[in-house]
Structure 1
């Protein structure tokens, strides 16, 4: 059973089973009652229509009787211009006898000649309801006017009779009848107390209503029914009292009046409600009987079920399960299953305890192995960081010394110098690869993404490898549409990707081979291709070319060297940029093609301004430089490089000596090693910035530690630049020039 679902007892389910047999009877009874109710409502509408017809006949007879009286007056001898005073007296007597408000005589143009309710000599006003007067004159037929209010503001209507003599219209004789006269006609009929009869004129103004109400217009539902314009009709409406009713109406064809009768729907359904009550009582009695039978028969099942419940509880508690013989076969099978489950439970418990003991042993071993692996990983990271630092320290002075030798221009040592430069660069690349792959696999490599103009990056990469091409030919191909391509990337890491791929192509291409570097756009991606016509790769090599530490089979001389990390780093760096790399080769000796994919980004708004500002402003080639480095060779060679650039340099091999120099040598820029003896570079930076002569000093870190955490720690200590050994001479000079420019800008007013 699902959690939260209400539980139902056996007795309740048996009750539902018995009660379900009554459902067809209830459905049939409901259908019959619905049909009977519909029939009663239809009969009520037809009765309302019949009453409306009868009432319409009575009202029409009363109106025609009025016309008969008017016709008698029209034939009297007093109706002549010379006897109008005698006709006035006659009209007054007739109006009083009939209960009319007045009798009005108008000429053939509708002008009032006399009014029985007014003095004969009094000025006669215009007709109160001129529409019916005009209609009687135009049609020369009797007309029953609409309800209107005269000077006394009492409702009445006019019955008008055109009087013709010798074929000409002479007069219009009108009887002004109060609406109560029509109400009297209605009340003489036998109208049920819950029914309402209403009479309306042509404009649907109420003439009379069997039940008083202040509203003179029909209710909205009845008005909608009457406005259809049919001679007769039926429908369901609501009276002005809000009672739902069945309504029938009839129009008086001769006069345009409407008689409507509404019978309360409750009266029409009286018999149906009684039948519904009888059916409901029968169903309730049947349900009560079903409940009694369910309770009675459930006793024979409840006792065995209670025994099964007790057995299930014992099974859950882990106690032995023993059941008596049950009289119901199905329940006896359930009991046997519970006893078997109890036996199986005991066996499973023993096996589980043994398995838990074994699992605890394995868990302890796995925990110990994981801890050893974490310690080994931490030790590996520390070893690689220290290895990088120790290897970079000797590479820094070697690189600087080679740069100085190049600047001195000794042609006798050029070949040896070039060999050493290539080997130093190769050693630096191996160290960088080792540290990069460690950071990538440990997910500690941080990317600094920014908008990059891809064509510029590709051109720089092509220029960077020119010195090592030898006789090889490098063809740079940038499609016209690719000039506008931008990507979001880390400039240093993407340059590393291109340098690795180009270096790989140079390594595996013959001395006079051809290499192609291309840039194009493919949909929402930028594609950089590095193709060569070198040694190529067979299929078994293609499958593993991006694996770490994998190298294609070589001879015993390992003429091409390497650690097998370059392409693995390329793939990882591109994946971190949301892109990828593929390789294709037609086979051994048929060259290789590497394709780099990078998602295209929108060009930054300031791209044009940045391009125009690409030339660096002129800088002041003067300044005092404090160089602190415990490796004397590295310090001395770097000092010579800076002095040749026109800078004033002081060298300290010890941090204490560097602090003592501040009294007589306030530096503009301080280049500090981090791994100094006695006091590391971070502490020295703080002491230097606290000294009055070093407060405005621009700090540059030159160190063998190059992880992201090392960079962050250097920033926190106040270093503005962080260079990793062996730093290129141009990079060191540019960092110092940046510091000198900043100091100059700060001093300028």
Structure 2
């Protein structure tokens, strides 16, 4: 921490400064002398400004005359017809007659096509002043360039460039290269007094001409400061390059941006004034000198510490170390102490920010690792749960096909519980995809009336004795939305499943479709169930939220269904809300979706040919129950089936059994299904095999990877028997005729 000792007060210093102020006589003398000097200075500045205007007019006229000559040259037939070789001698004569260095012709991009000072065929470089060429091309106006030393080292020169326009197109840029002596001659013709200095500068501040030769080709620092004030003209005190104080006026040429400056030496301006000034100033010299010294001394005592404080404040703002010596003024040292405390606070805050940033970075890294571990766990969990579900589903289908009536009730129980288990797995994986923003959506026109009626057809087995009604308003039958039909069906299934779960037997459930007005449709599900108090209704769409239940958890669930509903609806640009008058009064869920115009009616689809006769199918799955039940289903359907429980067994079977379709699990021991697919295709016995992936990995990325590995179909366990049979049938169907 910086410690600053205390000193004398600032008030004491200011008192001493006031006590040593100028006496009234000195004040009057200063006012009088100042008024005289100001008047004399203004007169000199006004005279310099008037002369600069006149000289600027002469220089501008000279530049305009050059532009007029170029305009005449541009109208010659040789240039108009593009005969540059014929135009060259004309250009050379004009340049020589006008005292120009050369005359150039460039194309519309600035590339030099002809130089009158060089023989025909000599390659011309780019122009010396590229900037003026660019401005001439962009503005299509006569442009005066900067002064520069040419490549031939013949002395400084500048270019006057004329764009040549034909039918609205830039054809050429004709440039006259003028030696700077041409402008010096204009200055000489004005006959300004000998004690004055005339200088002309180009747009970049380079000297074009000066009445007095000097090695420096730029304005003096004081003249540059005067020019930097901007404006088309101005006047003020300057010091010439020779060190002569002067009063200077300048005028800026609007067309070229050049500056004409006239400097009148202060001695010339003050001629006859020194005697008066000496008489007035002599009597007051002693008192003024003393007062000035005292004022300077005490002012310095104040300003130097303030300057040190300013420097310290700047260092504080830049994050640098703050260093302050003793200032000698009590109030300023208080400020210095405050700056020192601020520096300490800044350094402490910086350390805290760095520590906080490190903790946040670690937390983000841990969160990313946890999210990645969660996704990997859920993917593996889905695969492991779906593997046993697949043979159960296939076995139930086989039992149904065998027509054993004595086990019908038990089979239906297993089917219902299997469906419930499948939905739980799907919900768990959907939540993972939604929260990580990896859920793929396929948007297409969907007719809501068909969606509602189809959803209603799939639940009669779950209703029991409940009264279920479906109502579609007449004006809602033509409502269409842009959405993913499967995901919208999942929304309705989750809402219906929730309603059935919380609605007692013999209570009504109604699913309705109506117009929501203003380009929206509304799907309303109303039940006569247990209802919701406000505290439940507020959280009903939260992830993993479950309403309070008894110890038996008769309604079960993971608290995912309604959370998935809200996410899917919002991904369709809609909203969902829950309404209830309280416990025992039922609930109402309203899904609101934006509508679209009805799409054109599709053309009737032609029937696809189906596979007929026997077919050879290879089933590979390390889950023996899954493999055996799938094989049994395919054998009942009339296919010749071989089963392998290991990838090497499958490859060995290819020697004698040449399958037309191979149904492969992905999570195989020793070799993944993707690798096995490549080896099957590389084997002569499986080169033409149609590959079907039957796996517990069901993400969009898994399906894309299966396609890349050569699989024609991707089925997620537990795939329905119809889906498996349809995939195999597609693989055995004859290829469509060429050109069909």
TM-score (norm 1): 0.56
Structure 1 residue 663: Cα displacement: 3.3
From 705, 710, 721, the equivalent of 1:713 is 705
Superposition map of 1:489-504 within 5 A: 489-504=483-498
2:575 to 560, 572, 580: 580
Aligned counterpart, 1:462: 456
Distance 1:411 1:314, change over 3 A: closer
**In the alignment, what sits opposite 1:591?**
586
Match of 1:44 in 2: none
Query: Given the alignment, which residue of 411, 415, 423 partners 2:409?
Result: 415
Once the two structures are superposed, residues 20-39 of structure 1 have per-residue CA deviations (whole angstroms, 9 ceiling, x without a partner) of: xx9xxx9xxxxxxxxxxxxx
- Report the Cα distance in structure 2 between the residues aligned to 1:466 and 1:738, rounded to whole angstroms: 32
In 1, the alpha carbon distance for the partners of 2:692 and 2:310 equals 78
Deviation at 1:661, TM superposition (A): 2.3
1:512-527 equivalences under 5 Å are: 512-522=506-516, 523-527=518-522
Q: What pairs up with 1:108-123 in 2 under 5 angstroms?
A: none
Of the candidates 600, 604, 627, which is equivalent to residue 595 of structure 2? 600
Deviations 1:310-337 (A, max 9, x none): 4422553622244467xxxxxxxxxx66
Structure 1 residues 555 and 645, CA gap change in structure 2 (3 angstroms): same
1:556 partnered with 2:551: yes
Helix, strand or coil at the partner of 1:484:
coil
Structure of greater relative contact order (alpha carbons < 8 Å, 6+ residues apart): 2
Residues 234-262 of structure 1, C-alpha deviation per residue, up to 9 Å, x if partnerless?
xxxxxxxxxxxxxxxxxxxxxxxxxxxxx
| 1:619 aligned residue (604, 607, 610) | 610
Partner Cα distance (2:332, 2:394) in 1:
87
- Supply the distance in 2 between the matched residues of 1:548 and 1:404 (Cα, whole angstroms): 38
Please give the secondary structure, in 2, of the residue aligned with 1:586: coil
Deviation at 1:659?
A: 2.0
Closer/same/farther in 2, CA of residues 364 and 313 from structure 1, 3 Å limit: closer
Which runs of no fewer than 5 residues in structure 2 stay unpaired?
1-29, 43-268, 274-280, 282-288, 316-320
CA change 1:403–1:616 in 2 (3 A) is farther
Give runs of aligned pairs for residues 243-642 of structure 1, distance below 5 A.
Answer: 303=300, 305=303, 308-314=306-312, 316=315, 318-323=322-327, 338-522=332-516, 523-605=518-600, 607-609=601-603, 612-613=604-605, 617=608, 619-622=610-613, 623-642=615-634
Paired residue secondary structure (1:500): helix
Pair 671,467 (structure 1): closer, same or farther in 2 beyond 3 Å: same
Which of 667, 678, 703 is 1:675 aligned to? 667
Change (3 A) 1:338 1:738: farther
| Alpha-carbon shift at residue 394 of structure 1 (Å) | 0.6
Question: Aligned partners of 1:310, 1:367: CA distance in 2, in Å?
Answer: 40
Tell me the secondary structure at the aligned position of residue 594 of structure 1: strand
**1:727 and 2:719 equivalent?**
yes
Whole-angstrom distance in 1 between the partners of 2:485 and 2:525:
18
Match of 2:85 in 1: none
Alignment deviations for residues 608-666 of structure 1 (CA, whole Å, 9 cap, x no partner): 32xx43x8645224432221111110111111112222223222211122222223333
1:549-568: per-residue Cα shift (whole Å, max 9, x none)? 11111111111111111000
Going from structure 1 to structure 2, the CA distance change for 1:383 and 1:734 (only over 3 Å counts) comes to same
Distance across 1 between alignment mates of 2:383 and 2:558: 19
Aligned residues: 452
The alpha-carbon distance between structure 1 residues 683 and 571, as it changes in their structure 2 partners (threshold 3 A), is: same
Aligned to 1:85: none
Question: Against the structure 1 CA distance between its residues 458 and 602, is the aligned structure 2 distance closer, same or farther, given a 3 Å change threshold?
Answer: same
C-alpha distance in structure 2 between counterparts of 1:555 and 1:485, whole Å: 42
- SS for the counterpart of 1:608 is coil
Change (3 A) 1:516 1:320: same
Where 1:519 maps in the other structure, the secondary structure is strand
State how far apart, in whole Å, the 1-side matches of 2:292 and 2:540 are.
78
Among 712, 735, 738, the alignment partner of 1:744 is 735
RMSD of aligned alpha carbons: 3.3
Q: 1:341 to 1:718 in 2, by over 3 A?
A: farther
Among residues 656, 668, 692, which one is paired with 1:664 in the alignment? 656
CA contact (8 A) 2:322 2:343 kept: no
Extract unaligned runs of 5+ from structure 1: 1-13, 27-283, 326-335
Q: SS of the residue aligned with 2:381?
A: helix
Superposed CA offset, 1:421-463 (max 9, x none) = 1111111111111111111112221212222222222222111
Structure 2 CA distance for partners of 1:646 and 1:444, relative to 1, 3 Å: same
**What TM-score comes out, normalization by structure 2 length?**
0.56
Counterparts of 2:345 and 2:304, CA distance in 1: 31
> Taking structure 1 as reference, are residues 485 and 718 closer, same or farther at Cα in structure 2, changes over 3 Å only?
farther
Aligned counterpart, 2:696? 704
| 1:298–1:544 distance in 2 versus 1, CA, 3 Å | farther
Q: Which residue of 2 aligns with 1:71?
A: none
Q: Between Structure 1 and Structure 2, whose CA radius of gyration is higher?
A: 1
**Paired residues of 1:321 and 1:339 also in contact (CA < 8 A):** no
Residues 94-173 of structure 1 mapped to structure 2, 5 A cutoff: none
What is the CA–CA distance in structure 1 between the aligned matches of 2:492 and 2:511, rounded to whole Å? 9
Query: Shift of residue 736 of structure 1?
Result: 2.3
Q: Distance in 2 between matches of 1:733 and 1:515?
A: 36
| Mapped partners of 1:416, 1:380: distance in 2 | 36
Where does 1:212-251 land on structure 2 (aligned, <5 Å)?
none
Kept in 1, the 8 Å contact 2:305–2:332? The answer is no
Within-5 A mapping of 1:14-163: none
Query: How far is 1:362 from its partner?
Result: 4.1
- SS at structure 2 position matched to 1:560: coil
Which residue in 2 is equivalent to 1:649? 641
In 2 relative to 1, CA 512–644 (structure 1 residues): closer, same or farther, beyond 3 Å?
A: farther
Relative to structure 1, is the Cα distance of residues 745 and 414 closer, same or farther in structure 2, using a 3 angstrom cutoff? same
Indicate the residue corresponding to 1:32 in structure 2.
none
